[in-house]
């Protein structure tokens, strides 16, 4: 089973966005050395906790800093953008890094409603809910399959990276996304860390996990993310807090529900990841890890790689 990384570029309390982005480059280099298959970066807007609003801007530096790992978006939130602009950007990346670029696409906003509105170029009306039409246009540019009478058909020949193309993936956390992936003939990546009740088969399943030398240490490290997401759900986004602060906060809170995480020693995490992959009939697991301490995040991915490659 292949293993990959989803990096949301978390910002630890006491550090800055540039620090988090530097950590992303560092972690990508480690994942490359550890023979992870892919390194995808997420898209989130307007919050204090995550520093990655622009996968298309971050993929190039990551690919340049690594040598073999596939690099991509997990994902581009297509409703915010022109399909042609996305096609151009990822064609350019594919041309620069042949055979290494993935274009993961999603329909979620990646933010709150007000920030979503701020992202709109035309704010006179709400943005239309036309994701299938956007996907058809984007795939038409990348595959040069737009209808003869489509007004922008000629632009498919002007993509800067031709003949190279990105590998296109559909991302989702719902049954509808699985249906679309099948209809469009696209590989499907399912976000189990968002919706652990998913039942549709997926090519990749993305799982929240933290691995440490012991089960107890992994549980401690997970407290930082639990506090951060608890505050986010209350509309009070914060940077990822240190463990001791998070443990004090969580003492007075109910345990979170609905968000599954695999936490523990290498043996525990390996077993958990394999069980989840089996449930989705997936042959690749993508791991997302949030800790306050970057060294702990690096160590987690090291332990997972060692355990999964035994």
Full DSSP string of 132-157: HHHHHHHHHHHHT---TT-TTGGGGG
Mean pLDDT, the chain, rounded, equals: 94
Q: Which of 52-56, 177-181, 236-240, 254-258 has the lowest mean pLDDT?
A: 254-258
Q: Residues 163, 181: contact at Cβ < 8 Å?
A: no
Summarize pLDDT for 182-225 with one digit per residue, the tens.
999 999 999 999 999 887 899 999 999 999 999 999 999 999 99
Summarize pLDDT for 159-178 with one digit per residue, the tens.
999 999 999 999 999 999 99
Summarize pLDDT for 10-50 with one digit per residue, the tens.
999 999 999 999 999 999 999 999 999 999 999 999 889 99
Residue 258 has pLDDT above 60, yes or no: no
All structural domains of the chain, each given as residue ranges with its CATH number in brackets, are 2-308 (3.20.20.30)
Given pLDDT bands bounded at 50, 70 and 90, which one contains residue 296? very high
Summarize pLDDT for 99-152 with one digit per residue, the tens.
999 999 999 877 788 888 888 888 888 778 899 999 999 999 999 999 999 999
pLDDT on residue 38: 98
pTM for the predicted model, two decimal places: 0.94
């Amino acid at each position: 089973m292949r293993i990959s990384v989803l990096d949301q570029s978390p910002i630890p309390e006491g550090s800055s966005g540039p620090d988090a982005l530097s950590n992303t480059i560092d972690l990508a280099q480690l994942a490359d050395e550890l023979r992870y298959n892919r390194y995808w970066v997420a898209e989130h807007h307007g919050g204090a906790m995550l520093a990655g609003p622009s996968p298309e801007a971050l993929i190039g530096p990551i690919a340049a800093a690594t040598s073999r790992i596939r690099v991509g978006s997990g994902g581009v939130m297509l409703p915010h953008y022109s399909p042609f602009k996305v096609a151009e950007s990822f064609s350019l990346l594919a041309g620069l890094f042949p055979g290494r670029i993935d274009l993961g696409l999603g329909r979620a906003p990646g933010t709150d409603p007000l920030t979503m509105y701020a992202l709109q170029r035309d704010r006179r009306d709400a943005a239309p809910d036309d994701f299938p039409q956007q996907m058809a246009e984007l795939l038409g540019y990348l595959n040069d399959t737009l209808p003869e009478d489509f007004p922008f058909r000629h632009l498919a020949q002007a993509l800067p990276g031709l003949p190279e193309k990105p590998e296109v993936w559909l991302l989702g956390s719902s049954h509808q996304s699985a249906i679309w992936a099948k209809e469009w003939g696209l590989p499907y990546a399912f976000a189990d860390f968002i919706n652990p009740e998913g039942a549709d088969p997926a090519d990749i399943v993305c799982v929240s996990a933290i691995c440490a030398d012991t089960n107890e240490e992994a549980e401690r490290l997970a407290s930082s993310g639990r506090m951060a997401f608890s505050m986010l759900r209350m509309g009070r986004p914060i940077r990822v807090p240190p463990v001791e602060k998070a443990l004090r906060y969580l003492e007075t809170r109910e345990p979170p529900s609905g968000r599954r995480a695999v936490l523990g020693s290498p043996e525990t995490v390996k077993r958990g990841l394999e069980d989840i992959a089996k449930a989705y009939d997936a042959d690749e697991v993508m791991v997302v890890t949030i800790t306050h301490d970057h060294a702990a995040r690096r160590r987690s991915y090291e332990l997972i790689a060692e355990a999964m490659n035994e």
